[in-house]
Amino acid sequence: MSGGSDVLIVGGGLAGCTVAGQLAQAGRAGDVTIFEAEPEAPYDRPPLTKSFLASEDLLSAWPVWAPRDVEWRYDAVDSIDLARRAIVTRSGEVLTASTIVIAVGARARILPQRSDRIRTIRTAADARVLRDQVASGANRFLIEGAGPLGLEIASTLASAGVRVTVVDPAPAPMMRLLGGHLSDDVNAWAEESGVELLLGCRVTESHDTDSPTGVLARIGDGPLEAYDGMVSAVGIEANPLELHGTTGPVTSPILADEHGRILDPEGLPIDSVFAVGDIVGFRQPDGSIARSEAWSSARVQGEAIARHLLGKPSLQAPVPYFWTRQFGRMIQVLGEVGPGSEIKVAREVPGATGKLYRVARDGVPVGYIGVNAQRLVAQLQVQGGKLAHWRLGDV
Ligand SMILES: Cc1cc2nc3c(=O)[nH]c(=O)nc-3n(C[C@H](O)[C@H](O)[C@H](O)COP(=O)(O)OP(=O)(O)OC[C@H]3O[C@@H](n4cnc5c(N)ncnc54)[C@H](O)[C@@H]3O)c2cc1C
């Protein structure tokens, strides 16, 4: 075993890089080592289902959020002993560190009993495979999952002239993000774009066809239909990583406290070991576990861990934020707009098709949804400063 760096970050995506970048800005670049499994990293993931799926773009550019002056090691980490703060890498290296930050993100989930032909988009390589399939003539796709990712993929493929069917058992598109709001609008946008959106039903059977990527699938009790390809967009699951805690194995999602410190199976924080980004879950007052899977959350969590490591006071967490671009529209969600809330138009964007909706529960504002209303959403975000509490209700 060799002694390692002061701060060892496992995963060089947005979350891990945010911690590393903040430490580097505070003059501690020399203390930080990032272990990263993917040879192409670091790069931003949101374009993968948008511009990058349509055509190769600037993935080679080094993202602004990724520090160059820390040590980058392109080797996956297979296991971590959290109590001893020791990692074992795929190449067999064993290292210890004073602080470990786990930022391994997640991988796309595929439902059981699906063919191994089914594609997902989590990495640039995944997006290239799908793009190449379309370039080589595949023109009818079935997408499982009408969440933001499934609909972004549908929207991008449809604009390339591909026939797309999206299927989801939920009663409304992007149910988890929009809580059932604006479903008539999203249905209409999909229809205008030629995307068939089938809600309230699921794929009940699928088989490979003789063509190299083709799939025969049945939706509900409908007929078996042939598709040139099938894509799974039904959420994410933890990346495999063996974790030994102080009192036994730590399973996913990794739970952390408000500073990002990993909790052992008994719920106590483990000294100097943190988790951040899509891999981490936080226990809610009602006992459920919340994970955010959003770009801005990875940033905010990463900044919070860096502040803790630098001995700076923590800042108030901002209202959650997620954006998605699809069917020619920018959709932005601030706050929690879940089921059971009421929605009404707060502002129309003059001269454009944009709208800002206010969402309230029992008359109390809980969030906003912007459709092509970037300026209004930006004003809301700026109101209280980047990390202060936005004043919902002021628009
Ligand atoms: C296709 C796509 C589109 C998205 N679009 C949006 C959007 O429009 N809006 C939005 O708000 N959010 C979006 N997101 C979500 C956002 O990109 C993620 O929440 C964010 O990337 C999470 O950052 P992360 O660092 O936790 O995980 P990741 O970005 O997944 O980074 C984790 C890194 O860890 C590495 N790694 C994994 N295992 C190991 C290991 N064992 N050892 C070493 N390294 C390892 C991985 O290779 C990866 O580079 C999108 C995500 C995807 C996949």
Answer left, alpha or beta for residue 328, where phi above 0 means left and psi between -120 and 50 means alpha: left
- Residue 246: pLDDT band (50, 70, 90) is confident
Residues 116 and 145 occupy one common structural domain: yes
User: Quick one: pLDDT at residue 65?
Assistant: 97
Predicted local distance difference test score (pLDDT) of residue 270: 93
Say if residue 197 is in the same domain as residue 265: no
Neighbours of 117 (CB within 10 A): 16
Same domain, 247 and 223: no
Range of the domain at 358: 328-383
State whether 91 and 119 are in the same domain: no
Of 163-172, 184-193, 239-248, the range with the lowest mean pLDDT is 239-248
| Site to substitute for ligand 1 among 295, 321, 329, 333, most atoms within 8 A of C-beta | 295
Residue 390, domain member (yes or no):
no
Domain boundary among 281, 309, 337: 309
**Cα of 342 from ligand 1 centre, angstroms:** 32
For the segment 297-347, what is each residue's pLDDT rounded down to a tens digit?
999 999 999 999 999 998 877 888 999 999 999 999 998 898 889 999 999
Written as one string, the DSSP assignment of 277-289 is GGGEEEE-TTS-E
Span 369-380, mean pLDDT?
Answer: 93
Residues 119 and 222 in one domain: yes
- Boundary of a domain, candidates 190, 209, 234: 234
Residues 122 and 227 in one domain: yes
- Residue 271, domain CATH: 3.50.50.60
Does residue 286 lie in a domain region? yes
The average pLDDT across 12-37 equals 98
Rounded average pLDDT over 373-386: 77
Residues 91 and 127 in one domain: no
Q: Do 155 and 85 fall within a single domain?
A: no
Is 32 within 8 Å of 23 (Cβ atoms)?
A: yes
Q: Among 309, 340, 373, which residue terminates a domain? A: 309
Output the pLDDT for position 61.
80
* One domain for residues 38 and 126: no
Separation of CA 347 and ligand 1 centre (Å) = 33
Average pLDDT value over all residues in the chain: 91
Q: Please check whether residues 166 and 227 belong to one and the same domain.
A: yes
**Are residues 53 and 153 in contact, defined by beta-carbon separation less than 8 angstroms?**
yes
Higher pLDDT, 253 or 205: 205
Residues with CB under 6 A from ligand 1: 10-16, 35-38, 41, 45-46, 48-49, 76-77, 103-105, 121-122, 149, 239, 241, 277-278, 293-296, 298, 322-324
pLDDT of residue 251: 79
> What's the structural domain count of the chain?
3
Q: Write the pLDDT tens digit of every residue in 85-143.
A: 999 999 999 999 999 999 999 999 999 989 889 999 999 999 999 999 999 999 999 99
Ligand 1, pocket-test mutation among 91, 104, 252, 301, most atoms within 8 A of CB = 104
**Torsion-angle region of residue 364: left (phi > 0), alpha (psi -120 to 50) or beta?**
beta
User: Is there a single domain that holds both residue 101 and residue 245?
Assistant: yes
CA 116 – CA 327 distance, rounded (Å): 29
CA distances from 27 to 197, 265, 269 (A): 51, 35, 27
Say if 190 falls within a structural domain. Answer: yes
Same domain assignment for residues 228 and 117: yes
Residue of 22, 33, 36, 45 with the most ligand 1 atoms within 8 Å of its CB, for mutation: 45
Going from the C-alpha of 11 to that of each of 35, 78, 143, 299, 341, the distances in angstroms are: 6, 12, 29, 14, 37
pLDDT at 80: 96
In a domain, 392, yes or no: no
Ligand 1 center to residue 65 CA distance, Å? 13
Report CA 199 to chain centroid distance, whole Å: 22
